[in-house]
Amino acid sequence: MYELIIIGGGPAAITAAIYAARKKIKTLILAKSFGGQMLESYLIDNYPGLPALPGVKLMEKFVEHLKQYEKATSKGDFDLAMKEGEAAQSISQESQTFLLKTDRAAYSARAVIIATGKTERKLEIPGAADFEGKGITYCATCDAPIFRDKVVAVIGGGDSGQDTALQLLDYASKIYILSRYEDLKGSNRELQEKLKNNPKIEILKETEPKEIFGEKFVKGMICKNLKSREEKKIEVSGIFVEIGSIPSANFIDGLIKRNEKGEIIVDHNSGATSCFGIFAAGDVTDISAKQIVVAAGEG
């Protein structure tokens, strides 16, 4: 029996665990894998004190920091347990305690913090499912080098799409960015200017993908201009999808209130959910700024 179980392995979960350990709360932090979405971020340039770090490096620092408390636990200074490789499947309430079931075991605690983040939204147009892994990818950090000297498209003009385009500049010969809007979206104006002024990049504004075609692998895409309704065929070998994400909170169905996007509704001061004893932090919540520094702060 723990006092607190934290579910998740990203910045919100790790920060919550560091604070809990320092307060000597008997805590279990449990994650499918430590790292979360940061592992897919090529360059993080807005975390104070640690400028221009690849996501993997920033995450290593977070985990290293957390592990200091786990190590100190054996000396009796703290009471923190870490488990990796287990996925939460359900939470139920039994009088004053919560029972968390994972795909491997069950744990109980007096309080729970859900910090499970979000997962990428899948593209749902003809061809998208057929060519996944055959030219369509959701991870530039993993797959950008495969497209050396090739023409590629990035779907989504938000921060993630821009981060992906930036990574692709080192490899691809041409990069289309499809944005639903008149301009790129997101917070990094400097990056947006850099992308707009790069001759390798063509931004297809107010444009959505309509269909993906190919044979064994992707050969191209039909795009539709949302204003003129005109359709255009572009030939590409790779398609990087960055169209947002959905909160990873389905395992908790029923016990706490979520909004229409599926995000856990929290009190923005305390992180409390609608169920007394369950808290949530980070990108899984209805707090609008989905940023590492915000998730860490919520944690």
**Which residues are near ligand NDP by CB under 6 A?**
41, 44, 46, 155-161, 163, 180, 185-187, 208, 242-245, 290-291
Nearer to ligand NDP, 86 or 208 (CB): 208
Find out whether 287 and 266 touch, Cβ atoms under 8 Å. yes
Query: 67: which residues sit within 8 A by CB, 6+ positions away?
Result: 82
3-state helix, strand, coil in the chain (%, to 5): 25, 30, 45
Nearer to ligand NDP, 163 or 263 (CB): 163
Query: d(Cα 270, Cα 248) in Å, to the nearest integer?
Result: 20
Picking from 116, 137, 122, 95, the residue whose alpha carbon sits closest to that of residue 8 is 116
Nearer to ligand NDP, 97 or 245 (CB): 245
Nearer to ligand NDP, 146 or 289 (CB): 289
* Least distance between ligand NDP and beta carbon 130 (Å): 17
* Least distance between ligand NDP and beta carbon 55 (Å): 9
Query: d(Cα 35, Cα 278) in Å, to the nearest integer?
Result: 23
* Least distance between ligand NDP and beta carbon 238 (Å): 16
Nearer to ligand NDP, 48 or 254 (CB): 48
* Least distance between ligand NDP and beta carbon 185 (Å): 5
Nearer to ligand NDP, 18 or 204 (CB): 204
- Helix and strand totals (H; E) in the chain: 6, 17
* Least distance between ligand NDP and beta carbon 258 (Å): 18
Nearer to ligand NDP, 112 or 218 (CB): 218
Q: Tell me the sheet residues that pair with 7.
A: 30, 114
* Least distance between ligand NDP and beta carbon 68 (Å): 26
* Least distance between ligand NDP and beta carbon 89 (Å): 26
At 71, which amino acid appears? K
Query: d(Cα 290, Cα 245) in Å, to the nearest integer?
Result: 11
Picking from 249, 256, 259, the residue whose alpha carbon sits closest to that of residue 284 is 249
Query: d(Cα 104, Cα 124) in Å, to the nearest integer?
Result: 32
Interaxial angle between packed helices 11-22 and 55-73, expressed in degrees from 0 to 180 and rounded to the nearest 10: 30
Dmax over CA atoms of the chain, in Å, equals 68
Question: Cβ-closest residue to ligand NDP?
Answer: 158
